[in-house]
Amino acid sequence: MSDQSLAAVVEKERTQVALASLQQEGVYDEGRHIDEHDDGTVAIPVTDPPAQTDVLEVVRVTGETRLRTLEDHLRERGWTDAELDAAPGSWAVIGSVVLVDVVDTPRPAEVGEALLAMHGHADTVLSRQGIAGVHREPSVEVIAGEGDTHTVHREHGTTYALDLAEVMFSPGNKAERAHMGEVVDDGERVLDMFAGIGYFTLPMARGGAHVTAVEHNSTAFQYLVENVVGNEVSDRVETYRADCRDVVARGIEAADPFAFERVLMGYYDAYEYLDRALDALEAGGTIHMHEATPTAELPDRPVDRLHAAAERNDRQVTGYDLREIKGYSEGVSHVVVDATVK
């Protein structure tokens, strides 16, 4: 591309908000990259001058030297075809941080620098090294940039503040987060048993539901509270830092026991908590049970576990739908069972 194109200049810290606004306005140019402009600002490509988004200025930029793919950037750095075959094929941009797997990649620092060149609003690249422990805590390594792992991510109008070195964030669950914000009814009572930083709590609350959000991890809970305030849903979210089973038990023993129309179990071993989930679910309510299941055992394993728990608790599953969210690992799928229980 040798002609000049338009770009909207904004402060770097406003990139995510401005980008969401430009997308909504319909003027964001997805065919070009966001680039650094001056110190503290970025240039977001646009097809027309924005009329509704607050920007510093609209400038014309020459795109003839722009490198468009990771392969282009790495070839510029002298990578061979064999090395390019081992380069990562995908990555995720979470706010100002790029997450990438570079386990078998040569010269990961150069990959990180190339990704920063491609995503002008990002300032840190992290190599994902896995998730471990009951609290699903991430292991990451800074391979390029400033090394600031705290960021603010925005998707579908919801804002998530988080530290990617302390708490997990799954880019592959983006559609499911949006889906949960759409299925709830206004005023519906929801229990989120594994709330994390508010992955599903926030979209559901923004969708009008009243959510009881429970999280045991102290760091994730701090971000949960911060995100509830930041998304202005404090009047619709009640937070507990506790084991979700204890919260349900206290609710059952209360003078005015709670009963939820919907229970969300966003945890791969959620089936171990089904008895308490059913205790909290009112008759005819809906339960959403997440699970990482070997593909060969679908749909039987998660569905059988749900039926067995219902039978133990004198309940009955009257209908269900099983959805695959994403691949979890080789031969294993992340699925959700949406079930109605009377």
pLDDT at residue 254 in the model: 72
In 3D space, the residue among 246, 295, 289 whose CA is nearest the CA of residue 269 turns out to be: 289
pLDDT at residue 67 in the model: 53
**Terminal alpha carbon distance of the chain:** 61
How far apart are the C-alpha atoms of 330 and 233, rounded to whole Å?
A: 38
How far apart are the C-alpha atoms of 151 and 123, rounded to whole Å?
A: 10
The SS3 of residue 134 is coil
Q: Is residue 335 part of a domain?
A: yes
217 plus 299 within the same structural domain: yes
User: In sequence order, what are the beta bridge partners of 237?
Assistant: 211
Boundary residue ending a domain (95, 114, 148):
148
306 plus 201 within the same structural domain: yes
pLDDT at residue 56 in the model: 92
211 plus 139 within the same structural domain: no
Boundary residue ending a domain (33, 62, 91):
62
Quick count: other Cβ atoms within 10 Å of Cβ 103? Answer: 11
Is the distance from CB of 302 to CB of 337 less than 8 angstroms?
yes
Q: Is residue 308 part of a domain?
A: yes
pLDDT at residue 321 in the model: 96
104 plus 191 within the same structural domain: no
pLDDT at residue 65 in the model: 45
77 plus 51 within the same structural domain: no
CATH of the domain at 113: 3.30.300.110
Q: Is residue 111 part of a domain?
A: yes
335 plus 300 within the same structural domain: yes
Q: Give the CA distances from residue 125 to residues 8, 69, 73, 118, 122, in Å, rounded to whole numbers and listed in that order.
A: 24, 16, 15, 12, 8
pLDDT at residue 152 in the model: 94
Q: Is residue 242 part of a domain?
A: yes
| Number of domains comprising the chain | 3
pLDDT at residue 255 in the model: 59
How far apart are the C-alpha atoms of 144 and 111, rounded to whole Å?
A: 8
Structural domain range at position 18: 4-62
239 plus 260 within the same structural domain: yes
Q: Is residue 223 part of a domain?
A: yes
pLDDT in tens, the chain (342 residues): 335 689 999 998 888 788 888 988 889 987 777 888 887 888 899 999 999 999 999 998 875 445 578 999 999 999 999 999 999 999 999 999 999 999 889 999 999 999 998 888 899 999 998 776 666 788 999 999 999 999 999 998 899 999 999 999 998 899 999 999 999 999 999 999 999 999 999 999 999 999 999 999 999 999 999 999 999 999 999 999 999 999 999 887 775 666 899 999 999 999 999 999 999 999 999 999 999 999 999 999 999 999 999 999 999 999 999 999 999 889 999 999 999 999
18 plus 92 within the same structural domain: no
pLDDT at residue 37 in the model: 83
Q: Is residue 155 part of a domain?
A: no
77 plus 55 within the same structural domain: no
CATH of the domain at 270: 3.40.50.150
Q: Is residue 17 part of a domain?
A: yes
Q: Compute φ and ψ for 227, nearest 5 degrees.
A: -75, -35
136 plus 18 within the same structural domain: no
Boundary residue ending a domain (62, 87, 105):
62
pTM for this one?
A: 0.82
141 plus 196 within the same structural domain: no
141 plus 208 within the same structural domain: no
Q: Is residue 93 part of a domain?
A: yes
